[in-house]
Structure 1
Amino acid sequence: MLRFMPVGDSQTIGSAGEHTWRYRLWQHLRDTYGGPFRLVGPRETLYDKATDAPTSYEYADPDFPRAHLAGWGEGWLHMAPVIGDAVREHRADVLLVALGLIDLGFYTNAEQTEENVRAFITQARAARPGVRIAVLPVIPNIRAVDEPDFGAQVSLFNELLAKAVADLDEPRSPLLLTSPPPSYDLDRDTYDGTHPNADGEHKIAAAFADALWQGWGIGQAYGAGSD
């Protein structure tokens, strides 16, 4: 049984009424991965905008393993201290990580955020020495377009993230930097310039799926099989 743990912020937890990219990736792996697998993690809910809390189970399709470690407004800063316990408890084999936007937007600059990336990886490996980690760079968002200084921080962080992944990669616990979703468009792929709509969910899922296939031979390239 291969256990995948999605780790992320609002783009990963999703909000009430959505499928989420987690669902799209699960659907793809269900159709392409040759062995048993699950999504695992300490949380299952979506964010409920009406109550401003992660209390919703109103998935567009709830019939999938909904477990994750994602939170609305959480970043590397928040996940580094808790990832060890989550990995240990749920025996995660592969972490699918999409973080950074929240850190840069509210808490830490690019260099400080990169330090938290390294702390996250250290804690995950301490809990499970053979864990594999696939990391998505910060993807296009409206704030990076509207605020040049913020956009520069995003670009710098993505460069530092690539360097950290290269520096810390090791055979026993490999790291993988996914490519940003190709042709990701804020008008077509988000509903507010930041959070993915159905098209954006597919593109984020594709970024992870293609990296897993190309880097580690897991599943296949993301195709047209997902709904």
Structure 2
Amino acid sequence: MVATYGWDRWLSLVLAIAVSLSTLSSSAASAAVLSASASDRSTAEQEPIVHPSFRAMIVGDSMSQGKDGQYTWRYRFWQYLRSSVSVVTPQFVGPFNGTFLDDHNPNTVFHMKGKYAAGVDPEFLAGSCAHASAWGRPLSWSELTIAGWVKVHQPDWVLLMMGFNDLSWMGAAADELMEHFENDCPAPELAKSVTREHLVNVTEQYNRRLIGNITRIEHKGEPSSMIKLVHLNRVYGCQPDYCPDGWDGLHPNEDGEWDIARAFSIAMVEMGLTEKAIGNCLID
């Protein structure tokens, strides 16, 4: 994930939110990177900023892309931003638009033909459903493409939530995933069998490492950068033996979509970027 800091060549200020996701058989870590103008930094730390627009790119895997017929947490976060007095016109950008729908073609790299739930606001579909999230995408494969996407789509903010596929399907250890987060990504190791118990343990190890390394990671960026941990595991209801927020023990159902969006909204409030987080009374 060293490409995060490479974005400084295009973005004047990088605000990084590292998201720690600890769930059932599938816990992983994720990261979100947010950018604003350098002149906004001192204000962001003291009081809410009124943004006439909020141009963001959400980078992730299946958790963020969603599948055919879902609302997705991206839409729920868009609804939250629409309701915030600090954000007037949220817009999501990126190379893709659709949710996941398998076309059963082995040559298809990104499955993006899925639709959204029937109740999704047409305004979201018309101008804010774009994203940079793909089913099965690991962090270790993404750092080069992320930098390119940022350059092309010029988001003011980048939210990146990834890591599960590295720990599960690719069998990465906590130390390996931390290296992807901090340094240039080496060639990914061959996939290996990972038991459920091992996956839970390695996720917990990575979450602890991530928390302990936040300060050091921040110091590797520009002096004006800021990094913050989003405790997704505190609000996303998914544990080894009970997962009310997931429809399959991992991927978010409608409640889970709101809870992921809520985790990001809490971080936004803590940084002074919005005034209120998503609470128990959800946005209609």
Which range, TM-score by smaller chain?
A: 0.7 to 0.9
Report if aligned partners of 1:47, 1:72 keep a CA contact under 8 Å in 2. yes
Q: 1:84 to 1:213 in 2, by over 3 A?
A: same
Which residue of 220, 226, 232 maps to 1:174? 226
- Tell me how far apart the structure 2 counterparts of residues 119 and 67 of structure 1 sit (CA, whole Å): 28
Q: Shift of the alpha carbon at 1:187?
A: 3.3
Q: 1:62 to 1:15 in 2, by over 3 A?
A: farther
Q: Which has the higher contact order (CA 8 A, sep 6+)?
A: 2
**Are 2:201 and 1:152 aligned?**
yes
Structure with a larger share of its residues in helix: 1
Per the alignment, in what secondary structure is the counterpart of residue 17 of structure 1?
coil
Report if aligned partners of 1:16, 1:49 keep a CA contact under 8 Å in 2. no
211-220 or 45-54, which deviates more: 45-54
User: 1:212 is matched with which residue?
Assistant: 268
The unaligned stretches of length 5 or more in structure 1 are 122-143
- Partner AA of 2:250 in structure 1: T
Deviations 1:147-206 (A, max 9, x none): 222111001111222233321226522222101242613432111101110000000000
Per the alignment, in what secondary structure is the counterpart of residue 137 of structure 2?
coil
Q: 1:183 to 1:66 in 2, by over 3 A?
A: closer
The unaligned stretches of length 5 or more in structure 2 are 1-52, 186-193
- Tell me how far apart the structure 1 counterparts of residues 151 and 72 of structure 2 sit (CA, whole Å): 25
User: 1:109 is matched with which residue?
Assistant: 173
TM-score, structure 1 as length reference: 0.81
User: 2:116 is matched with which residue?
Assistant: 59
Deviations 1:26-63 (A, max 9, x none): 00001103343311111112111464761324101263
- Partner AA of 1:55 in structure 2: M
Question: Over alpha carbons, which structure has the higher Rg?
Answer: 2
Alignment coverage as a number of residue pairs: 204
- Tell me how far apart the structure 2 counterparts of residues 79 and 110 of structure 1 sit (CA, whole Å): 18
63-72 or 112-121, which deviates more: 112-121
- Partner AA of 2:167 in structure 1: L
**Are 2:277 and 1:221 aligned?**
yes
Deviations 1:111-148 (A, max 9, x none): 11111112489xxxxxxxxxxxxxxxxxxxxxx9x722
- Tell me how far apart the structure 1 counterparts of residues 236 and 181 of structure 2 sit (CA, whole Å): 26
Which residue of 52, 65, 86 maps to 2:149? 86
- Partner AA of 2:97 in structure 1: E
CA RMSD of aligned residues (A): 2.3
TM-score, structure 2 as length reference: 0.65
